[in-house]
Structure 1
Amino acid sequence: MDIRRKLIATAVLTAFSAPAWAQQPQPSDEIEVVKVTAQKRKEDPAKVAMSISAVTGAQLQSEHVRDITDLTRVVPNISFTAASGNGGAGPGTSNVEIRGISSTAGAATVGIYLGDTPVTVGNVYTMGNIEPRFFDIDRVEVLRGPQATLYGASSMGGTIKFVPNEPDLKEREFTTYTEGSNTRGGSANYAANVVANFPLIPEELALRIGVQAQQTGGFINQVDGNGKVIASNINKINDQEFRAALKWRPTRSLTVTPSVYYQRIDAKDIGAFNLDLPLYQAQKQVREPSIDKLLAPSVTVNWDLGEFDLTSATSYFQRKFDRTQNGSAYNSYSLSTFLTSTEDGGKAPPELIAAVAGLPSAVYLNNQVRQVAQEFRLASHPYDEKVSPWTWLAGTYFSRQHTNIIENDPIFGVTDTFKQYGFDIADPDLLPDAKPGQFPNDNSFAGAFHYREKQASIFGELNYYFSPTVHATVGARYLRANTTLEQRNGNYLAGAGNNSSAETSSKAFTPKYALTWEVNPTNTVYTSVAKGFRLGGANIYVPPTTCGPDLEKNGITAGPPAYSPDSLWSYELGSKSRFLNNRVSVNADVFYVKWKNIQQGVYLPTCAYTYNANAGDATTRGFEFDIKAKPLPGLTLSASGGYVKAELSNDIGIDNGVVGAVAGAQIQGVPKYNAAVNATYNFSAWERPSFVMAGMQWVGASKGSLDPTQTDHDRPAYHTTDFSAGMTFGSYAFTAFVKNAFDTDTIIQHPQVASIVQGYRLAPRSIGVSLATKF
């Protein structure tokens, strides 16, 4: 056996030997500085001319932040809302917004990155953003403001980067984390993960591998028409994650890092309940489960070529998202309204009409997204006044994304129901325009939609240092894109059916300008101007037979065939300061955004269809702040918050059939403010490192719809409170915690699906314990 094989065998066999984590280091008196890669190179965020929040993996774990919705409550001016027509339906169906750049339609407004892998998907009526779980994460970076120069077209509001832990070439490590809690009035929550790091060849080759399993307990019961419980805690969610990464450094100048991430989220039902029933009860004929699977392999190469660095990021991701919606309230009801009643001289008796209206119906949605992306970057070394006043970065990006949506809407038993009353379902005198074969296997609608998107762009940034403390940045990206939509649909509720294809092309030039002044080593002032851009696209077909009343209400006779690109300009001024030997840090900024030709989704509640339209222009303005302090040894205080006023600035949207799109209307899904405070005290108890922590989060009022007649138009403000305490025994850290300690039960969303008004609330109070180990 050669020496390398011996080293590998020794590393694997000794990975579970004596603990290497003898004791926790003493807490520093200084505020921790979390380096970020916002500008595609690792650097101090205080020197970057943009508003950034960086949350470490340790902070995510200590504050029990488990998903993006939790993150939106602790990071300023980030929010989430349901994609058009989804009504906040559950995991994978919401969109994320930053600084009021909120849209439930068209391309995404926030770029999502998993390491160097872009996993941004469009806002379609069947799904929302991919939501990576916080597993083996080094940090999450939230970059506010347009990031089009370095991150492309869909980062017009900002970018969220999930940065995983890298394999360590020096130290072996084995960590575990387990957590258990119980939801008030519901079922149990648990989480468990194991992560191991093996230096297979010291200083040259290392493997990091981990697995995780979690369950989020449910608290909603399904009931029948008499209020009898059919199933309990139906909205629980199970998820599993796997990640493996290999780091190979064959020379000091070359590093190759292949990795793979897999995630499976199994939601047993959505988190909605009927507002006309006792709290947290859902009366439905069809359950609404979903399974959302994400596979994301990638290879990143970093090569120091002496005068500059070369980075290649090759990535692929595949998302399979299968879910069921309860279509009883609109498929069955819509069909019943088409029947010709005997009371009006038709053939359908009232008993048949009532029977059809009461039939169960499902909407089966099978979504698949696949993307291949390649980015090459060349970057100068960091600024050195002895070498050059210039630094630069240049790159090129290519991507191909395919999205397939298959939809089937069966009305269970509809053919037999007609037969029971002595009728043929294909009788056109009974059901207008009915033809044989329009209800195969009771399926009332069948659709297939295939989106293809190709992007190619070149980008770069150039920095000139007038002095070591003052520098200007000029950046730009030129993008060309082509999008196509092929669709075919049929069966009775599709009306005459539709088989068509449409193609759109886009190009954009998105510049960025910034000026940074390091007033002193601990105080930086900056200003920036940047442009953001989104692609336009084609709309799915909206059948006028099914959706006629909704379309007429919007002042149109048919859904528009396409929607146009939109863009914005953002203006920002900010400062980043540290005081008292880095015991206090204060970051603050103000911004103003002019958004042109805003894309918005128009949901048709009666038939449950959605089309995209341009709703005119908008402006958003506001501020953010983030304050951290260590006033006493062991005590860390933090406060962060943001305010945003996001409004339409003209009435153009009305002409495009967007009800409520008038000047002064608040953009949907944007809380007016959010804020969070946290206090953590580290101390020694019985000679054991210990801590206590308390945090509160506030989220302001928002609008769930532009249409003031919708039940979800006004969404209330709410707040939550969390507590935790823990103690460390050598390699074991125990924690007890309470989430939503005062059991805030505000109904934060209340959309209407046909005649049913639904409610969504925060998860009730949960109390639990956790154990973390590190060897």
Structure 2
Amino acid sequence: MPLRRSLMALAVLTAYSVPVLAQQSDEIEVVNVTAQKRKEDPAKVAMSISAVTGSQLQAEHVRDITDLTRVVPNISFTAASGNGGAGPGTSNVEIRGISSTAGAATVGIYLGDTPVTVGNVYTMGNVEPRFFDIERVEVLRGPQATLYGASSMGGTIKFVPVEPDLKEREFTTYSEVSNTKGGSANYALNAVANLPLIANELALRLGVQAQHTGGFINQVDGDGKVLANNINQINDQEFRAALKWKPLRTLTITPSLYYQRIDAKDIAAFNLDLPLYQARKQVREPSIDRLLTPSVTVNWDMGPVDLTSTTSYFERKFDRTQNGSAYNSYSLSTFLTSTEDGGKAPPALIDAVAGLPSAVYLNNQVRQVAQEFRLASHPYDEKVSPWTWLAGTYFSNQHTNVIENDPIFGVTDTFKSFGFDIADPDLLPGAHAGQFPNDNSFAGAFHFREKQSSVFGEVNYYFAPQLHATVGARYLKANTTLSQRNGNYLAGAGNNSSADTSSSAFTPKYALTWEINPTNTVYTSVAKGFRLGGANIYVPPTTCGPDLAANGIDKGPPSYAPDSLWSYEVGSKSRFFGNRVSVNADVFYVKWSNIQQGVYLPTCAYTYNANAGDATTKGFEFDIKAKPLSGLTLSASGGYVQAELSNNRGLENGVVGAVTGARIQGVPKYNAALTASYNFSVAEYPSFVMAGMQWVGSSHGSLDPSQTDYSRPAYHSTDLSAGVTVGSFAYTVFVKNAFDTDTLIQHPQVASIVQGYRLAPRSIGFSLATKF
């Protein structure tokens, strides 16, 4: 559904959840977190954290990481460089306005203890895990470099799966069906089994899920005839297996495996010059994104210290097709000189070449092996010591392979039909036999390798049980290499080269936490964030010469440097009236230096990365929950971010629009939400009703004011639901986007075509959850 491409943040932290046979309480639920790599009350942690439980995700019908932007303040999405909002798996998640479509990622992504963070490599975006068998999702705002390493500049998102239970046998199912206005049906079905194999020693947890998101966009031809209905459909399947073995009271070994396959039939863009929700395209744009993450975690209580070892592997295979007609075919036609201008090509041939269909086939694969060891003291005990600490080491080796082929279908026969040989150098400058094998205009193979090693640690000193200081640091070394080979006509003279870059960083953190009383905490923190540098993809000077000259260089830079930031934060976390009211709030200021940005070359449609400019982001977040009456839960949450460039260095380096005061792209200025839920009984059956509204502020989709997507409007949406639990069955009816908000939240221009994106139209559905 197009919310996956909304690239904006919606914010609501819903207090209601609908686990089957849920126990009612007059207190606000406290969700413990592992933000500091040990389980603790988030109210005692010196950082801004949102923790959303699996039951909340189910109640909100949240399916994936993009939908998470509806329930957490100050998260946004931006299309990866060159994508134009191209669909699932191609966007980058940002926190607190730390948004960059170039270089390394700005937010760390963890699935359990497995890091699945990938860089902005060749139009590939973040890994997007589905919310399946999840205990909670933790969103850690602010730099997390000390404990989570490079790329966690804006923050870290942790997907914490449910662990196998050594005692209780349990079977749960969840099914959902709905229909989208003007489109097709949606459905979801999952089943999870928890099986104790040896009581209190060995348990197995297994789960499977299948989902279908219906489309509402139709493909049409040049005459407006419908060629295919509901093309933006998405199918996904998930499988999870986890084994928990506790051979000793002090030792736990947990191997696990997660597999996910997302099959998108097309992107959710429609043409603004056509009737609503119609897309005229010569080539469909499907994708298949597969994720595999096996891991083994060992926890050993060694007496005075706890040892944790996490060995993980992840593999992502992401195959996708882009409609390259507006790029490749048109670009090739510009190299033909018309007979009217003294050339050899008749105008009809130029027009015919420009109108040919072309595809960009991208076959991406990422593989990573990672190992982390850490030792931690036991939690603070004033009778034992005023110190607590954690220390560890981390190693990773990531390989990314990208294969690209750009056929222009029928190009050779088109030249022949006009009596020309496509290898004629007088007709097509630089052409020779073999530069369009099987009509392929570009062929590229790129291999990225990134190796990291680091040591890290944090120390807490308690001046008193209510007051403690935290000092942490990480030292990181990394090496990145890029080997590339490309050829065929649109690659210019072709290229076969490699580049190697090295990075190192020291990222400290300082915090002070004061527990004024057991229910009120204030804190302040200062932390540094860091991103690795890297090598650039080759830019052919033969086809990009004029663009490069306009930027004052004769060739694309071989590499780009790391960037970094300093974040300053003050916050408070309070609970009142017997934990019937909770108020969390914070303010932050971030100074970001030497930003990695993509420099787009408009004539040849290439992009390279450069360090161009500095920025500041500042703002606040709040989260208020209350249970004023028995059964009634109210919540309000939101955030404000002012994210702007602070100098003109980007413009000087060729980034159009990168001037002082320019708003960083993709970041809404504010988001806010109100939610109310009421729990009651009908004939002794637990029941509920719930309503939520979300508001998202305006944003800029580009730094360049001349782009059609420069100004993105503010918008809002409303969700409604109601349900009843009868025995082991929980029935729910729901409406998403109840008032069918159809604001055009994006309108990027792809070549001469202006595309539109909107929230998914209103959907009405029914779900059934069971637990035995």
Which letter does structure 2 place at the counterpart of 1:530?
Answer: A
Q: What SS class does the counterpart of residue 72 from structure 1 fall into?
A: helix
Distance 1:85 1:26 in 2: 49
Trace 1:323-722 onto structure 2 (pairs within 5 A): 323-548=320-545, 550-551=547-548, 556-722=553-719
Partner deviation per Cα, 1:480-507 (whole Å, 9 max, x = no partner): 0000011111000001111111100000
One-letter amino acid of the counterpart of residue 213, structure 2: T
The equivalent residue for 1:200 is: 197
Q: What do residues 722-753 of structure 1 show as CA deviations (whole Å, max 9, x unaligned)?
A: 00000011000000000011111111111111
Shift of 1:545: 4.0
Q: Structure 1: which amino acid aligns with 2:678?
A: Y
CA separation in 1, counterparts of 2:498 and 2:264? 33
Counterparts of 1:707 and 1:553, CA distance in 2:
16
Cα deviation, 1:241-285, whole Å, max 9, x if unaligned, reads 000000000011000000000000000001111111111111000
Q: Deviations over 1:700-725 (max 9, x none)?
A: 11111111111111111111110000
1:560 shift after superposition: 2.5
- In structure 2, relative to structure 1, the CA distance for the partners of 1:96 and 1:180 (3 Å cut) is same
The residue identity in structure 2 corresponding to 1:113 is Y
Quote the residue 2:243 is aligned against.
246
Greater shift after overlay, 550-559 or 155-164?
550-559
Q: CA deviation at 1:558?
A: 3.6
Distance 1:22 1:364, change over 3 A: closer
Pairwise CA distance, 1:655: 2.0
**Could you say if the C-alpha distance between residues 85 and 692 of structure 1 is closer, same or farther in structure 2, counting changes exceeding 3 Å?**
same
Structure 1 residue identity aligned to 2:764 = I
Pair 1:230 & 2:227 matched = yes
Aligned residues of 2:174 and 2:768 also touching (Cα < 8 A): yes
User: Which of 726, 732, 735 in structure 1 is aligned with 2:723?
Assistant: 726
CA contact (8 A) 1:409 1:446 kept: yes
Q: Deviations over 1:640-664 (max 9, x none)?
A: 1000101111111122111111111
SS of the aligned residue for 1:365 comes to: strand
Matched residue type, 1:675: A
Asked whether the 8 Å contact 1:573–1:591 carries over to 2, the reply is: yes
Choose which of 126, 130, 146 in structure 1 pairs with 2:127. 130
Alpha-carbon distance in structure 2 between the residues aligned to 1:198 and 1:211: 15
CA offsets, 1:606-636, max 9 Å, x none? 5443221222111000000000100000111
* Compared CA separation, residues 586 and 333, structure 1 to 2 (3 A): same
User: For 2:519 and 2:408, how far apart are their aligned partners in 1?
Assistant: 66
> How many angstroms apart in 2 are the aligned matches of 1:452 and 1:767?
46
Partner Cα separation in structure 1 for residue 547 and residue 234 of structure 2: 34
Residue among 70, 81, 85 paired with 1:84 = 81
Range 347-356 or range 383-392, more displaced: 347-356
Q: Deviations over 1:515-565 (max 9, x none)?
A: 000000000000000000000111111224444555456565543222111
Match of 1:54 among 47, 51, 55: 51
**Matches of 2:647 and 2:724 in 1, distance apart?**
57
Match of residue 13 from structure 2: none
User: Relative to structure 1, is the Cα distance of residues 550 and 61 closer, same or farther in structure 2, using a 3 angstrom cutoff?
Assistant: farther
> Relative to 1, partners in 2 of residues 1:588 and 1:110: Cα closer, same or farther, differing over 3 Å?
same
Partner AA of 2:649 in structure 1: I
* TM-score normalised by L of structure 2: 0.97
Amino acid of the residue matched to residue 81 of structure 1? Answer: T
Moved more, 312-321 or 659-668: 659-668
Output one character per residue of 1:68-114: Cα deviation in whole Å (capped at 9) or x when no partner: 22211221111111001101110000000000100101000000000
> In the alignment, residue 374 of structure 2 is paired with which amino acid?
R
The DSSP-based 3-state class of the residue aligned with 1:332 is helix
2:20–2:770 Cα contact (<8 Å) kept? no
The separation in 2 between residues aligned to 1:221 and 1:415, in whole angstroms, is 31
**Cα pair 2:424 2:432 within 8 Å, conserved:** yes
Q: CA 1:23–1:230 in 2, change beyond 3 Å: closer, same or farther?
A: closer
| Residue identity opposite 2:143 in structure 1 | P
Q: Does 1:178 align with 2:149?
A: no
Provide the C-alpha distance between the structure 1 equivalents of 2:294 and 2:601, rounded to a whole number of angstroms.
38
Residue 288 of structure 1 aligns to a residue whose secondary structure is coil
Distance in 2 (alpha carbons) for counterparts of 1:533 and 1:443 = 40
Report if the CA contact (8 A) 1:331-1:607 is conserved: no
Runs ≥4 in structure 1, deviation > 3 angstroms?
544-558, 603-608
> In the alignment, residue 509 of structure 1 is paired with which amino acid?
F
Question: In structure 1, what is the Cα distance between the partners aligned to 2:723 and 2:19?
Answer: 18
2:440 and 2:762 map into 1 onto residues whose CA distance is: 42
Report sequence identity in percent.
Answer: 87
Partner residue, 2:292: 295
**Is 1:766–2:733 an aligned residue pair?**
no
Structure 2: which 5+ residue stretches go unaligned? 1-17
1:272 correspondence with 2:262:
no
Q: Flag the 1:566–1:445 CA change in 2: closer, same or farther, 3 A.
A: same
C-alpha distance in structure 1 between counterparts of 2:21 and 2:492, whole Å:
67
The CA RMSD over aligned residues, in Å, is: 1.3
Indicate if the aligned counterparts of 1:73 and 1:698 stay in contact, CA closer than 8 A: no
2:15 counterpart residue number? none
Shift of the alpha carbon at 1:687?
1.4
User: Counterpart of 1:465 in structure 2: which amino acid?
Assistant: Y
Are the aligned partners of 1:308 and 1:379 in contact in 2 as well (CA < 8 Å)?
yes
CA distance in 1, matches of 2:742, 2:94: 24
Q: Which residue of 2 aligns with 1:27?
A: 24
What's the TM-score, normalizing by structure 1? 0.96
Match in the other structure for 2:93: 96
Q: Is the 8 A contact 1:240 1:264 kept in 2?
A: yes
- 1:751 to 2:748 alignment: yes
Question: Counterpart of 1:715 in structure 2: which amino acid?
Answer: R
Distance change (3 Å), C-alpha of 1:728 and 1:503: same
Equivalents in 1 of 2:719, 2:710: separation in Å? 29
Aligned to 1:8: none
Q: Is the 8 A contact 1:126 1:367 kept in 2?
A: no
SS of structure 2 residue aligned to 1:749? coil
The separation in 2 between residues aligned to 1:632 and 1:47, in whole angstroms, is 27
Could you tell me which of 155, 162, 167 is aligned with 1:165? 162
Question: Which stretch shifts more, 291-300 or 64-73?
Answer: 64-73
CA distance in 1, matches of 2:630, 2:166: 34
For residues 353-401 of structure 1, the C-alpha deviation after alignment (integer angstroms, 9 at most, x for no partner) is 1111111000000000000000001000000000000000000000000
Q: Distance in 1 between matches of 2:690 and 2:606?
A: 46
Residues 396-440 of structure 1: CA distance to partner in whole angstroms, max 9, x if unpaired? 000000000000000001001111111000000000111110000
- The reply on whether 1:257 has 2:263 as its aligned counterpart is no
Residue in 2 aligned with 1:12? Answer: none
Give the Cα separation in 2 of the matches to 1:533 and 1:686: 57
- Secondary structure of 1:225's match? coil
Structure 1 residue identity aligned to 2:376: A
Q: Which amino acid aligns with 2:365?
A: Q
Query: Aligned pair 1:738/2:738, yes or no?
Result: no
**CA–CA distance in 1 between the matches of 2:769 and 2:338?**
67
- State the AA in 1 paired with 2:119: G
CA contact (8 A) 1:194 1:210 kept: yes
**Retained in 2: the 8 A contact 1:483–1:505?**
yes
